[in-house]
């Protein structure tokens, strides 16, 4: 602000104050007291309004702070919820992968289980040269020392808890008193575990 303008404003304000007090001096004592009382009342009102404005400003600040804290709490809650949903999704994906892996392991374990079971009931003079699995059916091809050994194998398969319905498909007998082994083929069914049927 220009120095000249500021000086004029200051002079005008001082002149206004001087006129006000001159006017008060011109009044009688009773009127002067009345005007002074009114001025004091006006000042009290202005002070009260200033206090109210201060309290209102303070209340507004508290309200804004509370809103900010609430917004931050909501944002944190949303982030926690998103994190929980992500963890839940990852857990579901992991469970699915584990289920697939378990099913794969079960399927891979089935032939090994069958071979172990066959090894337990196989007569000593029989050698399996070919093992073919198709669903619940098995074809066993091999060589046997004698016809009796093949018969023992078929009977053992029939009595076993894992296998059922053994059928002798072919038997190529060697000449009597020959030392060559007999070729045979046996078909048998096996009981597929329930979890593989369901899978």
Range of lowest pLDDT (19-23, 138-142, 176-180): 176-180
In a domain, 81, yes or no: no
**What is the three-state SS of the chain?**
CCHHHHHHHHHHHHHHHHHHHHHHHHCCHHHHHHHHHHHHHHHHHHHHHHHHHHHHHHHHHHHHHHHHHHHHHHHHHHHHHHHHHHHHHHHHHHHHHHHHHHHHHHHHHHHHHHHHHHHHHCCCCEEEEEEEEECCEEEEEEEECCHHHHHHHHHHHHHCCCEEEEEEEEEECCCCCCCCCEEEEEEEEECCCHHHHHC
The average pLDDT across 41-52 equals 75
Q: Which residue has the higher pLDDT, 5 or 66?
A: 66
* Residue numbers of the domain that contains 34: 3-61
Examine the pLDDT at 199 and tell me if it is beyond 60.
no
In a domain, 188, yes or no: yes
Mean pLDDT of the chain: 77
- The predicted structure's pLDDT at residue 186: 92
Examine the pLDDT at 128 and tell me if it is beyond 50.
yes
- The predicted structure's pLDDT at residue 2: 58
In a domain, 84, yes or no: no
pTM of the model: 0.42
Q: 24-33 pLDDT, tens per residue? A: 666 666 666 6
Q: How confident is the model at residue 187 (pLDDT cuts 50, 70, 90)?
A: very high
In a domain, 69, yes or no: no
In the chain, how many domains are there? 2
Domain C-terminal end among 61, 84, 100: 61
């Amino acid at each position: 602000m220009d120095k000249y303008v500021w000086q004029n404003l200051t002079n005008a304000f001082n002149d206004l104050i001087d006129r006000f007090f001159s006017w008060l001096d011109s009044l009688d004592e009773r009127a002067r007291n009345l005007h002074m009382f009114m001025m004091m009342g006006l000042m009290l009102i202005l002070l009260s309004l200033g206090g109210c404005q201060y309290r209102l400003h303070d209340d507004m600040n508290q309200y804004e702070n509370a809103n900010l804290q609430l917004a931050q709490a909501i944002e944190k809650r949303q982030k926690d919820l998103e994190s929980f949903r992500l963890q839940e999704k990852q857990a579901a994906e992991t469970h699915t992968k584990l289920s697939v892996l378990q099913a794969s392991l079960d399927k891979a374990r089935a032939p090994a289980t069958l071979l172990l079971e066959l090894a337990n009931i196989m007569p000593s003079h029989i050698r399996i040269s070919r093992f073919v699995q198709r669903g619940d059916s098995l074809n066993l091809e091999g060589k046997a020392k004698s016809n009796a050994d093949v018969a023992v194998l078929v009977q053992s398969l029939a009595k076993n808890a894992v296998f059922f319905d053994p059928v002798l498909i072919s038997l190529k007998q060697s000449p009597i008193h020959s030392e060559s082994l007999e070729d045979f083929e046996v078909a048998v069914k096996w009981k597929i575990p329930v979890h593989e049927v369901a899978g």
